[in-house]
Structure 1
């Protein structure tokens, strides 16, 4: 998600960071008309988005998508699949640096965290207390799961020591979100900050990860953004994908199944395959900054160890 930077850590990082942006395909037949205001205190635009995303979620679920079962007998994969998917998801970027445009398709280096990951949810003033209380619990449990899976210190904090910020807000909260992003990353570039403005509704959520000044291959800061207009399950799906991608799995693959790192929306929550991808990412035999050719034999050994019955 982020490449080489100069000594001005965040300034360079924010100029070069490639966000994990997750455009979602419109389900077939979805009504394109914007609904009318429902009389709440939220703006017409926010109300329209809430209704739109409710329809998106309903349509996806009616098609048997957004599965939460983690995969099963109908989604087999072997060690070769695991290794191949890891290479695509960990060494390639979905989008160009700090933009919504596609990447150049060339493999990069392995990026991950070396220091403990301290997550903190930040709910904008327009988000209800019911949502913030419920989602804080979801994020706390999920962070603990990510820590167990990776073997890397991952957890939540309420202090100012947070380095992985999860911003939750709606279109009515744009000023608040922009202010918080500037506070978290004071040297963020105008182009990267612009991603938070007028976000296309096809993008449900995204994460930006920034390297530190001393090592451009090691993440030191991340900011995830999740729309408050999402219904509960769609919002939970965003947490699952963006928090995992913010650990270093920046790409998607149409061949990854069962996986949330796939644009087909078949799975909404972290799967068994995804857990194995995270295990490989934080295996000590790999190093931040490794290129694909150097890492490939190591990846294949680890995959064979994780799935010996299929190798």
Structure 2
């Protein structure tokens, strides 16, 4: 995903936070002592999607025969197996473990014959470089993938040549993936999942997908069951390089009947396209380069378009969520109305529990800041398992920190201290540097009315 939004994994809570924090003893100790060891998620597998194969076939075609710009692709392309992959540059310590887990999942869940090698002629090269180097190459990218290159230097030399044009590919033989090595472990892992999935699979993103990394909303950052099915379908023997959209469309019912038999019995759901006007407004609201006034205007426009389209799905919810974020610092009560609207539309859309967990960090923070710890904990507790299942350490640690402050307000200070301490190992994976972890802890602590009153 070239234009991966620089949209924080967890939303800013400052709309209802105090400007200064007076640490309680447990927090003071944590702010001065070495942080606990970083935690990470064990190898896992995703749940299979529960949707109609007819819908999945339409998604497959849109993902493989269009670019994010809307340009149509003339032919289906993939690697011929087996696929080899190597790592170059200066990879951070966590990269290898996360990459090994990802390759294992691709082999077991997607049935793709892919392995890591040290040979210079590997099909895929992952080069780990600094964030600044990536931005100098593509200013709006957090990480990216390019065909027919094996290094950033190679990309700079070929970037305007035909061989780096996705639309001109007839098959995939060599690809370069560029990953930052000076960001949080979670962001490194997220880039691995997104860019490797694009390197071997779909080139497009679709906002209509509620449960996929092939969606620029950046909610899902670890390959889902739907994603694995899309990849497995793309490497089915019935498909081959050079097939047209019509040829692939004819083959998909039989392929999906084999790959996803439960989807044969599920009725298709009507799906509306996402207009370019909504995409542009959303990108302006969340992407770099816009002023705060421009962001708010764009968020309002996205919400207006979503209403005009008659959407009742996660896209309508996302519009309200974005607008809530835009107005939160100046009008927290209006922001909460938008968050409640977002939660309502998410409740109408199956498979959006992770989206709801993001919104709950805002609504629970508001309850906490208003001295309602019981309400805050009631909202937080169901989301903890959602964040764990999604392997989102940044979200998980923020929910746990909110829970700790709510426990403190309830008078359960020992339990609050235990939850707070446990959250920091996840925060180290999710946010990376010690200063970022401590800043998140202080930000959440500032929501506690006792802190604001100096108690």
| TM score, norm. by length of structure 1 | 0.62
Report the counterpart of residue 114 of structure 1 in structure 2.
80
How many angstroms does 1:169 deviate by?
A: 1.2
* Distance in 2 separating the partners of 1:159 and 1:196: 28
After TM superposition, list the pairs within 5 Å mapping 1:258-269 onto structure 2: 258-269=211-222
The structure in which a higher percent of residues are strand is 1
Aligned: 1:26 with 2:7: yes
Q: Which moved more, 1:157-166 or 1:238-247?
A: 157-166
CA contact (8 A) 2:66 2:203 kept: yes
Report the counterpart of residue 147 of structure 1 in structure 2.
107
Pairwise CA RMSD of aligned residues?
A: 2.8
How many angstroms does 1:90 deviate by?
A: 1.4
User: Any unmatched runs of 5+ in structure 2?
Assistant: 15-43, 149-162, 265-455
Report the secondary structure of 1:143's partner residue: helix
User: Any unmatched runs of 5+ in structure 1?
Assistant: 1-19, 32-67, 95-101, 175-194
Give 4+ residue runs of structure 1 displaced > 2 Å after superposition: 25-31, 68-72, 75-78, 147-153, 195-200, 209-212, 304-310
Report the counterpart of residue 136 of structure 2 in structure 1.
197
Cα separation, partners in 2 of 1:138 and 1:156, compared to 1, 3 Å: same
Cα separation, partners in 2 of 1:307 and 1:117, compared to 1, 3 Å: closer
Report the counterpart of residue 63 of structure 2 in structure 1.
89
CA distances 1:133-173 after superposition (whole Å, capped 9, x unpaired): x311221232232233443421101222322110111146x
How many angstroms does 1:227 deviate by?
A: 1.5
Aligned: 1:243 with 2:196: yes
Aligned: 1:254 with 2:214: no
Cα separation, partners in 2 of 1:198 and 1:164, compared to 1, 3 Å: closer
Cα separation, partners in 2 of 1:196 and 1:284, compared to 1, 3 Å: farther
How many angstroms does 1:93 deviate by?
A: 1.5
| TM score, norm. by length of structure 2 | 0.43
After TM superposition, list the pairs within 5 Å mapping 1:143-292 onto structure 2: 143-171=103-131, 174=133, 197-200=136-139, 202-210=140-148, 216-292=169-245
CA distances 1:264-296 after superposition (whole Å, capped 9, x unpaired): 122110111011001110001011111111110
Report the counterpart of residue 42 of structure 1 in structure 2.
none
| Higher Cα radius of gyration | 2
CA distances 1:155-197 after superposition (whole Å, capped 9, x unpaired): 101222322110111146x3xxxxxxxxxxxxxxxxxxxx863
* Distance in 1 separating the partners of 2:260 and 2:239: 18
CA contact (8 A) 2:75 2:241 kept: yes
CA contact (8 A) 1:146 1:244 kept: no
* Distance in 1 separating the partners of 2:5 and 2:65: 22
Report the counterpart of residue 47 of structure 1 in structure 2.
none
* Distance in 2 separating the partners of 1:209 and 1:268: 22
Structure number with greater CO (CA < 8 Å, separation at least 6) is 1
CA contact (8 A) 1:119 1:157 kept: yes
CA contact (8 A) 1:208 1:223 kept: yes
How many angstroms does 1:103 deviate by?
A: 4.5
The structure in which a higher percent of residues are helix is 2
How many angstroms does 1:115 deviate by?
A: 4.3
* Distance in 1 separating the partners of 2:172 and 2:13: 39
Q: Which moved more, 1:226-235 or 1:236-245?
A: 226-235
CA contact (8 A) 1:260 1:268 kept: yes
CA contact (8 A) 1:79 1:306 kept: no
